[in-house]
Structure 1
Amino acid sequence: MIDAAERKMRFLYALRSSGVTEARVLSAMEKIDRGAFIRGTFADKAYEDMPLPIACGQTISQPSVVGLMTQALELGSRDKVLEVGTGSGYQAAVLSQLCRRVYTIDRHRRLVREAEAVFRALDLSNITAMTADGSFGLPEQAPFDRILVTAAAEDPPGPLLAQLRIGGIMVLPVGQSGAVQTLLQVRKSEHGLDYNELRPVRFVPLVEGLAQE
């Protein structure tokens, strides 16, 4: 049986081995317990570097991908961040340690409710979670300093790019669902958009509209 200290050490080693090297990101991921976001059959695998199924046919990303996406945002402590695809809430919780405020949206009401309950239990007061169509972002709160999308679109959605401030960064997977996608870092400047391909990934598709549950 692995004790908690050994488990945490292995968890952080896996992150570093995958290229998550920024000290602030590692500290945030050490502080936020992934186990709090996983229930049922897969709870014993919470500290392994693998994606796991959650409710509504969605997944919680593997920790190394969460770390790499967080690192690619280059977060500042005063940043306002939009996350599209709340899922379990784990990614939003990590972001909450590194920026001023996180707005996270998901098309599944059930996932938003369950994530909010975990945020309250962990006393994460700088996260606002709501049910919304992620492909259209959250225009009433725009512009955002950073945007993170945890579902794959064939191209970066125009409404999200419009809600990113000049000088901002968006990180998202791009490509067809069911195939290997590319994780992109998009920088927005006065002169346009600069794209940086980070690594192959596999995410659930970004779907328009609200879900039934």
Structure 2
Amino acid sequence: MNMPLDDREGFAAFLLRLRGRGGAVPKALIAAFEATPRRGFLNGQYHSIAWSDGMLPIECGEAIEGADLQAAVIASLAIEPGNRVLEIGTGSGYTAAVMSRLAARIVSVDRYKTLAEQARQRFEALGIGNVIVRQADGSNGLANEGPFDRIVAWAAFDNLPRFLLDQLSSGGIVIAPIGPEEGEQVLAKLTKVGSRFEREDIGTVRLQPILRSVAAVI
């Protein structure tokens, strides 16, 4: 992909950080990030730091997670080509766009109409046709649309979201932050085994708590 020079430099620095953390970075994941123009999901003032590890503001008082965290989460999801993925928290749409290159179908929900509409426009402009975006309350998943093979939440639950077990296919994976509204949360990877979860904690994060209901105005 033809990136501007400073964008290529930012992307190269991002790759170095990933490799510096040890462990192999899947080639398909790197290709998906490289093929998804990150700048197009950010306001112009943040283009020069698009590939940074810090969170950057987007509309509706929300933020896009740092590129490193996004890569770690998507890698841990271990998405396979035929997978159906539920994303709770569309935000800018960037992570759904990356995952669209790895999965068969993505359903992404956000409580903000503005974010859902902007993401939809970005997908259309990029010719991404396997992502469905909805303004919806994702705090309980999407019970009537499962099962999903992978579920990822970009907002924190105060307790283990056991209700998502029913929305997962056998062997499916949920990645979600679990913990208090204030302070750090544990990023948990939950794999469905029979009628229970196997849990593996893969890091700590500070993300906003999941909010119930959809936003009335924005």
Task: Report if TM-score (shorter chain) is over 0.5.
Answer: yes
1:96-141 Cα deviation digits (max 9, x unpaired): 0111000000001110001111111111111000011011222232
2:62 is aligned with 1:85? no
Read off the aligned partner of 2:40 and give its amino acid letter.
A
Give 1:200's aligned residue.
204
Counterpart for residue 122 of structure 2? 118
Instruction: Give 1:166's match in structure 2, choosing from 164, 170, 175.
Output: 170
Check conservation: 1:135, 1:159, Cα contact below 8 A.
no
Deviations 1:189-212 (A, max 9, x none): 115111000011111110101112
Note the C-alpha offset of 1:2.
Answer: 5.3
Q: What is residue 184 of structure 1 aligned with on the other side?
A: 188
Summarize the alignment of residues 23-42 of structure 1 with structure 2, pairs less than 5 Å apart: 23-42=27-46
Q: Assess if the C-alpha contact under 8 Å between 1:12 and 1:30 holds in 2.
A: no
Q: Which residue of structure 2 lines up, in the alignment, with residue 72 of structure 1?
A: 76
Q: Distance in 2 between matches of 1:2 and 1:73?
A: 31
Report the counterpart of residue 19 of structure 2 in structure 1. 16
Calculate the aligned-residue CA RMSD, in Å: 1.7
* Correspondence list, 1:113-152, <5 A: 113-152=117-156
Gaps of 5+ in 2: none
* Cα separation, partners in 2 of 1:4 and 1:156, compared to 1, 3 Å: same
Instruction: Give me the whole-angstrom Cα distance separating, in 2, the residues matched to 1:197 and 1:177.
Output: 18
Distance 1:77 1:39 in 2: 31
Q: Percent identity?
A: 35
Query: Are the aligned partners of 1:73 and 1:170 in contact in 2 as well (CA < 8 Å)?
Result: yes
Aligned with 1:28: secondary structure? Answer: helix
Q: Secondary structure at the match of 1:117?
A: helix
Which residue, 5, 9, 17 being the options, matches 1:6?
A: 9
Counterpart CA distance in 2 for 1:3 and 1:37 is: 16
CA distance in 1, matches of 2:98, 2:187: 19
Q: What secondary structure sits across from 1:75 in the alignment?
A: coil
Q: Secondary structure at the match of 1:21?
A: coil
Q: How many equivalent pairs are there?
A: 213
Contact 2:41 / 2:92 at 8 angstroms: preserved in 1? yes
- 1:79/1:101 contact within 8 Å kept: yes
Could you list the structure 1 runs, at least 4 aligned residues long, displaced by more than 3 angstroms after superposition. Answer: 1-5
Match of residue 101 from structure 2: 97
Task: Give yes or no for contact 1:14–1:49 (8 Å, CA) kept in 2.
Answer: no
Shift of 1:162: 1.7
Among candidates 51, 57, 79, match of residue 53 of structure 1: 57
